[in-house]
């Protein structure tokens, strides 16, 4: 199954007493609920009342967390050294949106975090209500449950019950990904941030599994990673075709018809890909719904710039400290010019991706 994006909530916005509104209130309440439920993992491991199944998962988490700092050079702090049960299957629900005839995501802008391509809610009903309002305005939208998120080191992020049922590889990979955001993070540049963290995640997980002698798990993960890469490639190709379509001067009805044809083509391409996978059905649920532009946002955000970061890591001779140093240098100038140079984007495309697709987004979405 595709890993759900991890939400980066703007913590300064959550806690600032000079800001108000129902959105901020629910965000602050949700974060404080997590803070209140944190329990140190060492204490849970020492407590005989801790269920054995949970104890095993937390012991694995503790080992992966130590490896992250000791071998991967990731921050050695209190993040992911505690556990919290939030009592629900997802910790937050993300709203993604695009205009009807654009693949550029709507962006919501906050202090510190900058402009991000989602709006997160700790309550699913509120997320659905907000998405419904965007649809009435004419946008394409999608709401997705999120099992893990990062506060970028502003809080001592715990491992959550929503993560604990994952397999070993996915659990360790998520820890590495979220900790990578504390190494380098560019406010307002989700594509840069997520691609960097994805490369750290994949490289770190390979090292972790090798260190544990888990060759079988490594082989399984490599197959799944290749399948996921092929899935993402389909989405990115569809996104490119749609972007070209939306630039055409066509009647609205014709544009809508051709848009739906592109999504039908995507489903047919997936059926062929599934056949080549000998019937592997891990992405069937993703394709079982009516698709729109908003479903493509995560693929572009998380993976569009990954090849550039992979090249950067290779240039650093696969040495993570050198890689981090180079990324930090780029992060200092990673606006439209820096990311355009790294990812091979045209300046106009980089600007649109960094700033959003219309000036109204930066005012409406901060209330």
Alpha-carbon gap, residue 174 to 159, rounded angstroms = 10
pLDDT in tens, 55-113: 999 999 999 999 999 999 999 999 999 999 999 999 999 999 999 999 999 999 876 66
Judge whether 90 lies within some domain. Answer: yes
- The per-residue pLDDT for range 159-169, each reduced to its tens digit, is 999 999 999 99
In a domain, 145, yes or no: yes
Give the number of domains in the chain.
1
Percentage of the chain modeled with pLDDT above 70? 84
102 in a structural domain: yes
Tens of pLDDT, residues 12-69? 333 333 334 678 788 888 999 999 999 999 999 999 999 999 999 999 999 999 999 9
Please check whether residue 69 lies inside any domain of the structure. yes
Is 352 within a domain?
Answer: yes
Beta-bridged to residue 97, according to DSSP, are: 141
d(CA 164, CA 90): 12
Query: What range does the domain containing 325 cover?
Result: 7-364
- Quote the CA–CA distance of 224 and 80 in Å, as a whole number: 25
Distance CA 135, CA 98 (A): 10
CA distance 84 to 62: 14
Both tokens of 17, joined, read 């007493």
Instruction: Let me know: does 4 contact 145? Beta carbons within 8 Å.
Output: yes
Separation of alpha carbons 267 and 291, rounded Å: 9
Q: Is the residue at 1 inside a domain?
A: no
Please report the DSSP string for 37-72 in residue order: H-EEHHHHHH-TTS-HHHHHHHHHHHHHHHHHHHTT
| Residue 301 domain-assigned (yes or no) | yes
Share of the chain above pLDDT 90, in %: 70
Q: Where are the alpha helices (DSSP H) in the chain?
A: 11-15, 22-37, 41-46, 52-70, 124-137, 161-164, 168-180, 190-211, 215-246, 252-276, 284-287, 297-303, 306-315, 320-331, 336-343, 347-355, 361-364
188 pLDDT exceeds 90?
no
In a domain, 2, yes or no: no
Q: What's the rounded Cα separation, in Å, for the pair 29 and 47?
A: 29
């Amino acid at each position: 199954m595709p890993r759900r994006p991890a939400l980066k909530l703007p913590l300064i916005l959550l806690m600032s007493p000079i800001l108000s509104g129902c959105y901020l209130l629910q965000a602050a309440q949700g974060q404080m609920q997590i803070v209140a439920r944190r329990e140190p993992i060492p204490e849970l491991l020492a407590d005989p009342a801790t269920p054995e199944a949970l104890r095993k998962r937390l012991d694995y988490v503790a080992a992966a967390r130590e490896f992250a700092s000791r071998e991967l050079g990731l921050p050695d702090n209190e993040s992911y050294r505690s556990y919290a049960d939030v009592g629900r299957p997802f910790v937050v629900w993300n709203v993604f949106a695009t205009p009807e005839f654009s693949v550029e995501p709507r962006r919501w802008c906050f202090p510190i975090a900058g402009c991000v391509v989602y709006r997160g809610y700790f309550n699913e009903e509120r997320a659905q209500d907000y998405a419904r309002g965007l649809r009435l305005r004419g946008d394409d939208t999608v709401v997705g449950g999120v099992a893990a998120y990062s506060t970028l080191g502003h809080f001592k992020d715990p491992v959550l019950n929503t993560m604990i049922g994952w397999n070993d590889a996915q659990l360790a990979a998520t820890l590495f990904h979220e900790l990578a955001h504390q190494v380098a993070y560019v406010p307002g540049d989700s594509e840069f941030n997520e691609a960097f963290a994805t490369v750290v995640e994949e490289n770190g997980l390979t090292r972790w599994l090798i260190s544990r002698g888990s060759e079988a798990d490594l082989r399984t993960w490599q197959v799944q990673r290749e399948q996921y890469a092929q899935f993402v490639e389909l989405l990115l190709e569809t996104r490119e075709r749609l972007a070209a379509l939306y630039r055409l001067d066509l009647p609205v009805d014709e544009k809508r018809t051709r848009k739906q044809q592109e999504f039908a083509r995507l489903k047919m391409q997936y059926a062929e890909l599934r056949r080549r996978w000998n019937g592997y059905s891990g992405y069937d649920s993703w394709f079982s719904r009516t698709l729109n532009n908003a479903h493509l946002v995560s693929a572009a955000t998380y993976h569009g710039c990954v090849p550039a970061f992979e090249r950067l890591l290779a240039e650093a001779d696969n040495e993570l400290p050198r890689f981090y140093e180079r990324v930090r240098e780029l992060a200092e100038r990673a606006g439209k010019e820096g990311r355009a140079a790294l990812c091979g984007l045209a300046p106009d495309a980089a600007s649109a991706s960094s700033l959003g697709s219309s000036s109204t987004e930066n005012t409406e979405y901060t209330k």
